[in-house]
Copies of this chain bind each other. A is one copy, B any other.
Amino acid sequence: MKDIIVQKYGGTSVGSIDRIKRIAQKVVKLKDSGKKVVVTVSAMAKTTDDLMNKARQINENPPERELDMLLSTGEQISIALLAMAIESLGEKVISLTGGQCGIITDSNHKKARITEIDTERIEEELSQDKIVIVAGFQGINENNDITTLGRGGSDTTAVAVAAALKAEKCEIYTDVDGVYTADPRVVKNAKLLDKISYDEMLELASLGAKVLHGRSVEMARKYKIPLVVKSSFNDSKGTEIVEVSEMEKVQVRGVSLDKNIAKLSVLEVPDRPGVAFKLFSELSKNHIPVDMIIQNINRDLVNDISFTVKIDDLSKALVICKEIANEVGASKVLSDSKVCKLSVVGTGIAGSAEVASTFFETLYESGINIQMISTSEIKISCIIDEKFGEDGLCHLHDKFNFDSDFEREVC
């Protein structure tokens, strides 16, 4: 329906009674402007931590189904309280759990994927002129068991509901003003972007920008739902995430830094088919996501294979690498957790030698050694020593000159 707006408010946005009241006013204002409004909320900040804390005191490794049963109460509390706040402003409103609004998922507790949304109930409530409050982060499986969607789950709920309702727009309210050219806590003159493409946003998300989870952006792209990211604490316009970047020329959209990674290298791997498969399938079986796999041309019938993993997975990955190295006859496994990934993102980067050379030149001028390089259609990433991360980010941001009108400060 053309006039439906889906809004999503995160945990800090509903973190206190006063904030819930403020959100209620924002929601009612939108409703009064003539829109049909669906609001997705997360658990109040701290509720989830409190519940996890209780669970761990009872069972160090709680069953995932029961954890979902427990944690899903967090959003249920938020939706009920927000509905009460909206009702006190005189608007018709109803709160719905994930199950009640027909969000069906697979049975992977703690990280379920939405398989289907039956919007009948939401549409029925909207047709009665109600504001509909939907619990984020949760659904039910075919067995009627409660599931949670894992990281980025509430954003995903909002986008999925928007897609299912064919909403006009999905607005993600958060504690930052939108998407910046770089992390504004690190780069002082980072600039807020008016627009960014789904693809660029996806790369930024996967490269450590915490503003939106890649999963929700992927879904928005798939169903062509215009996304807006903006602050729930002020009236800033935020950043629109749209299908295509408007400019045709190469555009570096932002720079990013991910310190949450570690590097692994398996040295002198015999150059024969199936070795890389063996290594990465074993990592995959152990649920260790791998990023930036690099294998250089072979020399002397052996290869060095390097890749990065999340820092939390390092010790587990190391054990697996050593086993496989032993099995296939590789000479050694090296690891380094004191690294970070510096990236530039923008449409058309792959076609432009200029962006890559500017990137490498900047690092060279800053005296930063590059350990690994990887590129895609719309990004270039380098692994460097962790201690140069912030410095490199600032120099890159300066060099790519995001907005010449923008007043620069020394970073």
Interface residues of A (CB under 8 A from B): 17, 20-21, 51, 54-55, 57-60, 62-63, 65-67, 69-70, 72-73, 76-77, 79-81, 83-85, 87-88, 94-95, 97, 99-100, 121, 144-146
Q: Out of B21, B63, B81, name the residue touching A87 (CB < 8 Å).
A: B63
Contacts of A69 in B (CB 8 A): 76, 79-80, 83, 95, 97
Q: Out of B21, B57, B70, name the residue touching A80 (CB < 8 Å).
A: B70
Residue of B nearest to A81 (CB): B58
A74 CB, nearest partner CB in chain B, Å: 8
Docked complex Cα distance between A76 and B54 (Å): 13
Residue of B nearest to A146 (CB): B97
Given A70-B77, A73-B77, A94-B65, are A21 and B83 neighbors across the interface (CB < 8 Å)? no
Contact A85 B59 (CB under 8 A): yes
Contact B62 A84 (CB under 8 A): yes
Contact B70 A81 (CB under 8 A): yes
Contact A84 B59 (CB under 8 A): yes
Contact A55 B84 (CB under 8 A): yes
Q: Which of A17, A60, A66 has the most CB of B within 10 A?
A: A66
Residue of B nearest to A62 (CB): B84
Contact B65 A85 (CB under 8 A): no
Given A55-B84, A58-B20, A80-B69, are A144 and B100 neighbors across the interface (CB < 8 Å)? yes
10 further contact pairs, Cβ within 8 A, besides A62-B84, A72-B76: A20-B58, A54-B77, A55-B80, A55-B84, A66-B95, A69-B80, A70-B77, A73-B80, A100-B145, A121-B144
Contacts of A80 in B (CB 8 A): 55, 66-67, 69-70, 73
Docked complex Cα distance between A167 and B335 (Å): 60
Given A55-B81, A95-B69, are A62 and B76 neighbors across the interface (CB < 8 Å)? no
Contact A84 B66 (CB under 8 A): yes
Taken together, the copies of this chain in the complex come to 2
Residue of B nearest to A68 (CB): B80
Contacts of A59 in B (CB 8 A): 84-85, 87-88
Contacts of A121 in B (CB 8 A): 144
Docked complex Cα distance between A99 and B63 (Å): 21
Contact B85 A58 (CB under 8 A): yes
Contact B77 A76 (CB under 8 A): no
Contacts of A62 in B (CB 8 A): 84, 87
Q: Which of A57, A58, A63, A94 has the most CB of B within 10 A?
A: A58
Contacts of A95 in B (CB 8 A): 66, 69
A193 CB, nearest partner CB in chain B, Å: 35
Contacts of A79 in B (CB 8 A): 69
Contact A84 B65 (CB under 8 A): no
Residue of B nearest to A56 (CB): B84
Contacts of A84 in B (CB 8 A): 55, 58-59, 62-63, 66-67, 70
Contacts of A94 in B (CB 8 A): 65
Contacts of A73 in B (CB 8 A): 73, 76-77, 80
Contacts of A146 in B (CB 8 A): 97
Docked complex Cα distance between A76 and B79 (Å): 16
Given A65-B94, A95-B66, are A17 and B58 neighbors across the interface (CB < 8 Å)? yes
Docked complex Cα distance between A324 and B59 (Å): 61
Residue of B nearest to A121 (CB): B144
Contacts of A54 in B (CB 8 A): 17, 77, 81
Closest 7 CB pairs of A and B: A70-B80, A73-B73, A59-B84, A69-B80, A59-B88, A62-B84, A66-B83
A251 CB, nearest partner CB in chain B, Å: 45
Docked complex Cα distance between A76 and B60 (Å): 20
Docked complex Cα distance between A60 and B95 (Å): 18
Residue of B nearest to A74 (CB): B73
